[in-house]
Each structure stands twice: as structure tokens, then as C-alpha cells.
Structure 1
């Protein structure tokens, strides 16, 4: 008689909703970190918590990233990738810089917790290099020498990120806090004493009208107007 076949041992399955450790890769780790910070804020991003989200021991993450700081640089790069995705420079320098600044702002507002965490970092990766090349090409196309193009690039990027991350920090507040601050422009500022604060009282109605869009576009316009004046003097 033929001996009965031994039953094959059942395959071990990864925990539902979590990938097996063999599927770990940098993109998956960054996607998970991005989602975690979006959902719970910067304090939630620890190596142990990230490992738990991925269903692995946190040491497995360290096979792909040297530590948390490298993950943060990766998240900075991820935001820039989203901003640069599908971007095509205009033939003119100013529309190019305007469009790119608006894209950076949109990404920061879409991921406010991440933006506040990484906006000041230098990603030193492909998307950042691509963005830098686009901005510097626009400035050189406006007629600036290399030294000035480098200086204005730094000023433009730092200003766009500063304004965008400031707005992101507002978005990251709870809705009650945000609404309280908005009401202040429409209530407390409108109620200031004209005899004590005559100039503030004169413009108070217009302060309430200046929303986030107006603030960003005004700041961007002021900076680009200054660069345009210098370009005409080249």
C-alpha cells in the first residue's frame, strides 16, 4: 500500500493589514510614517510606533533608514515630490516661480502636521534638487548672475516654506482654536478704541478680509515684485 502523504504544514500568514517584514522598503516606510503623522501628529512618530504600524520589529526599519532623522528627511522629500509631480516650467520666469510656490503651499496645507515637522529641513534628495534647478533656471533666465540667482533662490524657497508652514501650523490647530482666532479679527479687532489705537481702528475692517489666500498671494507678490525690479536693473 502507498503510505499516506503527510499534510503540508500551513503557511504562516502576516497579521492582517500589516505587511510581512520581507516586503519592507523605503517607500512603504515613508508612506506609513506620512500617514501616521498626518493622523496623530509629530509626537506619534517614533521608531517603535512605526515598527508597530508596519507589523515588524522597529529594528527592521533601521535596515532602510539610519534613524529617525533620516526618515524626517525622507518625509521632507516626499512633500517636495508631491509638489513637483507633473510640474512643467513656464517660458517666463515669474509664472514659473508663482506656480511652484503655490504647489508647495498646497502640499503643506494638505499635510499640515508633516509640513510643520520638516519644513525647515534640507532634504538633499532628487525632488529637492529638481525644484532647486527649476527655480535657479528661472532666475538665471531673468538675467541674474549666478551669485544673485543663488541668493534669491534661497530667499524665495525659505519665504515660500515659511509662509506655507505657518499656514500649516494654523491648519494643524483644532477647529475650535482656528475659529476663535478668525473671530478675533471680526470681533476684538473691530472693537478697539479709535482714540487709543486710531490707525489700527481705521484699517480693522480690512484686516478681517485678509484671509489665508490673500496673505500668501500678497507675500509672494511683494517678493517677486522686488526681484522683478532688480531684474530690470541687471
Structure 2
């Protein structure tokens, strides 16, 4: 795709697509999310989008300058969905926990898109609102600005890193997921206490816990660390 996007007032099609719908940025983004969920990253092409929309692929250029521009729109959509309905309570720990879990849940609901978008910075409305909200929680908790910024960075990177990691796992074929989990019940369960006493003592717990995301525990540890840095 090339840089020939049409100005905002001229973007809307005068006629419906073959499927009877009128193109819009939202329709294109939602269709792209669906295609990526069904077919992976390779589905994010102008040709596939045009086919799914029942429109000439070149019409996508009226809304997005490039596939990267569309990818940023997908990232922005996920950020917006994670924030939808969130309101601060005034309890910094509860507020941060809710924000982190919302990010993680939203990206888990769209694992293929998360792999494409979790590491991108959009600089758009939803992302700006999220940055403002998280910094607000930290500053109102009493953290000085340099500390608030460092913790903001760590908090967001932790949430997105776990979202991307868990999305990669969920994106594996079911057989591969099952095989990875079976390793804990097979290879690790056979290790002898004489050579691997700590694994042998905990292997049933390991086998059970490795089926779950480590993010909730990591988030709790992060919140404990923030609490230790707050002014007395």
C-alpha cells in the first residue's frame, strides 16, 4: 500500500459494497480483526480485506495509507476495547489491577491480533487516554513524577509482554499446546529426587500451575513492589 490516503471528508463511499454495506474505518478494522483471528497475520492484506468486504481492494486506500497504518488501527482498537467501561475508584491498587487484567483479557480474546499489535505505539486517542489514566492513578497514589513514569513503563510492558506470550501459546495448534503441557507430566515427572529434589517435590504443582497464565501472580508482585515505593 502507498501513501495516497483520501482526506477525511471524502472517504465515505457513495455506493454500498457488493454486500450492501458502506465502507468505514470501523468496518475495515473489525473485518481485519476477524480475518486475522481466523487466518493469522497473513490475512492482513488489501486483497483479502477487499474480498471479505465485497469491495475493490483499492478502496482500502481511502482509509489507510499502508498495511502498517491498518495495523496501528488494530492496536488502537484493542487498547480501546481494554479500556471500555473502566472508571477509577480512587483505590490505586484496585485500579491498576483492573487495568492490567483488562489489557490481558482483551489481548487473550484476540491472540492473533495481539501478536501483531502488542508491541506497537499508536499515539492515537485510545492509547493517549490509557497513558493518561495509568499515570493519573500513579501520581494520585503519591508517587513523584520520575518514579511514576518508571513504574508506568514497567507496568504496561509487563501487561503487554504477558499478553503477547500467552497469545503466542493460544495461537499454537491444539495438539502443540497439549504436547507442551504434557512435558510437565511426563519428562519432569520422571526426574529423580536424588538428582532434582526441588522439581521432584513440586512436580504435581508445576504440572497444574503451568496450565495457567503467570500474569495474575506477576501483577500481584508488581503491585506489592509499587506499594513498597509509596510515601509512608
Which TM-score applies when normalising by structure 2?
0.88
Shift of 1:196: 2.5
CA offset digits 1:107-164 (Å, max 9, x no partner): 1111111011110001211111111111111110121111211111111001001011
> Within the alignment, does 1:103 sit opposite 2:84 as a pair?
no
8 Å Cα contact 1:46-1:68 kept in structure 2: yes
* Aligned twin of 1:8: none
| Secondary structure of residue in 2 paired with 1:223 | helix
Q: In terms of Rg, which structure is larger? A: 1
8 Å Cα contact 2:181-2:210 kept in structure 1: no
Taking the aligned partners of 2:215 and 2:231, their CA distance within structure 1 comes to 24
Gaps of 5+ in 2: 1-14
> Within the alignment, does 1:48 sit opposite 2:84 as a pair?
no
Q: Go from structure 1 to structure 2 and tell me whether the alpha carbon gap of 1:142 and 1:193 turns closer, same or farther (over 3 Å shift).
A: same
| Secondary structure of residue in 2 paired with 1:196 | coil
* Aligned twin of 1:144: 143
* Aligned twin of 2:59: 60
Taking the aligned partners of 2:150 and 2:118, their CA distance within structure 1 comes to 19
The 5-angstrom pairing of residues 1-234 of structure 1 reads: 14-15=17-18, 18-19=19-20, 23-211=22-210, 213=212, 215-232=214-231
Taking the aligned partners of 1:79 and 1:13, their CA distance within structure 2 comes to 27
Tell me how many residue pairs correspond in the alignment: 218
Which TM-score applies when normalising by structure 1?
0.87
Shift of 1:183: 1.7
RMSD of the TM alignment (CA)?
A: 1.8
| Secondary structure of residue in 1 paired with 2:113 | helix
Shift of 1:13: 8.1
Q: Go from structure 1 to structure 2 and tell me whether the alpha carbon gap of 1:151 and 1:19 turns closer, same or farther (over 3 Å shift).
A: farther
Q: Go from structure 1 to structure 2 and tell me whether the alpha carbon gap of 1:92 and 1:14 turns closer, same or farther (over 3 Å shift).
A: closer
